[in-house]
Amino acid sequence: MLAMLFKFSVFIIIIFNGDLTDGKNNDDYETSIFCYGRLLHDVQVHELFKHPRDFLELRARRPTQVISSRYRDIRPKFKLAGEDGREALKNFIRQNFVNRSSSENVLPPDWFAKPPFQRSIKDESTLDFLRVLNRRWAQHYYNVTQEARENQGLHATIATRHPFYGSCRSLDYEESWWLYLGLMSSGMETSARQLIEN
- Under 8 Å between Cβ of 152 and 172: no
Query: What is the residue-averaged pLDDT of the chain?
Result: 82
pLDDT at 1: 53
Range with the poorest average pLDDT among 4-8, 65-69, 110-114, 155-159: 4-8
Structural domain boundaries of the chain?
A: 2-98, 103-197
- Under 8 Å between Cβ of 30 and 71: no
pLDDT above 90 for 192: yes
**Percentage of the chain exceeding pLDDT 70:** 84
pLDDT above 50 for 180: yes
- Under 8 Å between Cβ of 67 and 33: yes
Closest-CA residue to 176 (of 194, 159, 161): 194
Strands, sheet with 103-105, edge to edge from the N-terminal-most edge strand: 103-105, 141-144, 164-165
- In whole angstroms, what is the distance from residue 21 CA to residue 17 CA? 11
pTM of the model: 0.68
Q: 3 pLDDT band (50/70/90 cuts)? A: low
On the 0-12 / 13-18 / 19+ scale of CB atoms within 10 A, 86 is middle
- In whole angstroms, what is the distance from residue 4 CA to residue 144 CA? 28
pLDDT tens for each residue of 64-115: 999 999 999 988 877 777 778 888 999 999 999 998 888 899 999 999 888 8
pLDDT tens for each residue of 33-73: 888 888 998 998 888 888 878 888 899 999 999 999 999 99
